[in-house]
Chains A and B, each alone.
Chain A
Amino acid sequence: MSKNIHQSARLDRREALKAAGVGVLALGFATTAHATPEAAAEALSKVSGGAAASMSDKVTISLPEIAENGATVPVGVSVDSPMTADSYVKHIHVFAEGNPSPETVSFNLTATGKAEVNTRIRLSKTQNVMVAAVMNDGSVLTNKKEVKVTIGGCGG
């Protein structure tokens, strides 16, 4: 912390301008090349048909805390649901908030087995992975989990 203060005190006009330029560039890059949490939320509302989503512990995401290789990150989603014809999980959507596009994969389930899926996804950087489960009555349950990515896996 003390190092930061020291550095900022040293900033002269030229350095400040340079830093501002880099900041603008980085911002431009972020909006074009990577999705944001807002974009992920937008993608979610698109698939859920605008139904209000609520955070729920019923949705469990299993992800490594640290993914060394972002090209294949194992991800498991399970939803607490009886999976009977009366009450089952219709869709499970996975979103990566920091990827070039937030949509990652959508599973369409039927009333059989149990509501658990496993797959492997690409993550471009350290970010939150968001999962939305759409139930057969239209309600949407979400949960999210952060994963630290050492080497990004989306190409570039």
Chain B
Amino acid sequence: MKNKLQRMKQHMGIEKKLEEPPIQRPPTCKTKENKLIPFENDWRLFQTTPSWFEDQYTMIREQHYPLDHQHGKYDFSMTKEVVKRWREHTFSHPLSAKDREVEELLFFDTETTGLSSGVGNTIFMLGYAQFKEDYVGVKQYFLPGPESEVALYHHFLSDVGTLGNLVTYNGKAFDWPQVKTRHTFVRDQVPKLPKFGHFDLLHASRRMWKDLLPSCKLAVVEKEILGFERIEDTPSYMAPMLYFDFLQDPNPEYVKGIFQHHEWDVLSLMTLYSHLSSMILKWDSFSLNNKEKYEVARWYEAIGEKEISMAQYELLKGVGSSVAEASMFAYATCVKKEKNWEKALESFSSLVGTKRYTYLAAVECSKIHEHQIKDYEKAIYYSKLALADEEYLVNHPKVKQEKLLNDLHVRINRLEKKIS
């Protein structure tokens, strides 16, 4: 059998491995009574101690940071301040912590044995940063072996309780569903999963910086936006390999780098949340560039906060830069929806002649002249201006182009009939 298995190996998708050091078997039998934990002293020196549940344990590492600890651009008291500001803010927002105490925010992240989202992908570390009275606590729960999941989830869920709001980076699509998946296996032995609120900062970062940054990975955002640079970070893709090594030889040295990486992740989430909140809350006083300001306005518009988004567009609108023109167009569209034809016409017509908006704005002007002002000559004039914006038209696929052209011709014909 063994021979056959060796021979068939290449058909089984198992890669040939390099020579490896002999495997040290960990002591397999551990009970609470004799508390035999491999490398317990090394763990202790790394601020990590076992927490038992029945005959299993999970390793928990706790770190405290003072509120004036600087992580990137800000210290942690900034987070406290933005939560206070959210409370005074009148508009709704997906990142709003209006109804939350700062202590309820869990800046949460996981480390897993793979990137896929299937049931066999184990979370071997999870943890969070959280505000306490006068310090910030980072608590990391580490799985010493796959048999200990009950202990891990028991302690994690007992600690976080039922009130809370997660702040994550892609946690809506990945981390939390994966927690749900693994929780299912131990659901009869541990507390229920709480129904937490959730701020996913990846979503927010994409809104703000998709066009500005080469990618929206947390490390990039940290470096470019938050002014935090990691030194000798263990990259995420190494984590599974290191954890597998640890399972073969339970020396904490293998995984210390992952603890550090994970800690940086959750701390950066705090700084990032402070930064994003400030961008929204202190729109005019915080040092935002115009593109960021425009994206904030767009976000408000997307969630239906028209009043503030329109006000912001109004402040940004102009002619000459792409952001100013985009704001002008968005503003014009808003006032048009309010049936403020005069303002709409004024705004749209200011865009006629620009490189980017001539076609769209001219069509709008034409519509307003035709249907509201009933000035058909002017309406034709604008339609013809739209027709002349070849640059806009050629940038569309052929079928679309023909449709746009056809629409204009139909409009012009109709207008001409109305005149005669």
- Is B one of A's binding partners? no
